[in-house]
Amino acid sequence: MDLLALRNSLASELVTYLGTYTLGNGSTTPAIVVRDPGEGVAAGTSVSGLEVVLVSVPELIQELQYTDSPFVQNWTVNLIDWGGGSIEQATALVQSGYPGTTAQIVSVVEDKGPKRQTQLSIPLSRDGGQDAFQIAPTAQVLSVNTSVGHVSLGLGDLADVDASFVADEAVLVYSAANSKYKLDEVKKDLTDGGNF
């Protein structure tokens, strides 16, 4: 996989998490870029939300085998939260899409620059192999109960749960009569003399 293909794949898959670059002329663009280590943003550009920075050259790692020693390209991708970015969700999505991806939290100076940063290492075969995001379209959640985008689910949002009332220490019990779980406000004692 080459740098452009990786960048395009990440831009597509992380579209709901990407922050924004505001350029010197006032125009905006998604906050994903290819930069060399130590290189900063262009003069007059500000960043908000989650910035994704790909290092332009991968590290080559040799995989020893009995008859062949192919190289794996280990791409470094930095997820930088400039405030309000969903760094954990973006990390989890990349790790599920590119198996073998590792994440390392990078310390940042408080009150200066970014709020949080995570460095990802994405190992990809350079002679074919994995060349696209690995979550099958059929496995992706596109909507939940007609809600799309970032969906926060509660007990009442589940189709097989009747959560018409909630009480302290209520438990879910299954009702065969209506094939649903319902909340039972009667406190269930799950212990027997302190033994589980």
- Spell out the domain ranges in the chain: 3-129, 140-196
Gyration radius (Cα) of the chain, Å: 23
Q: Which residues in the chain come in under a pLDDT of 50? A: 128-132, 135-138, 194, 196
Topology of the domain comprising 3-129: STM4215-like (3.30.2000)
Strand (E) or helix (H) holding 9:
helix 3-13
Q: 0.75 exceeded by the pTM? A: no
In this structure, how many other beta carbons lie within 10 angstroms of the beta carbon of residue 57? 13
In this structure, how many other beta carbons lie within 10 angstroms of the beta carbon of residue 126? 14
The 10s digit of each residue's pLDDT in 127-153 is: 544 444 554 444 555 566 666 655 566
C-alpha 109/C-alpha 144 separation (Å) is: 39
3-state SS class at 138: helix
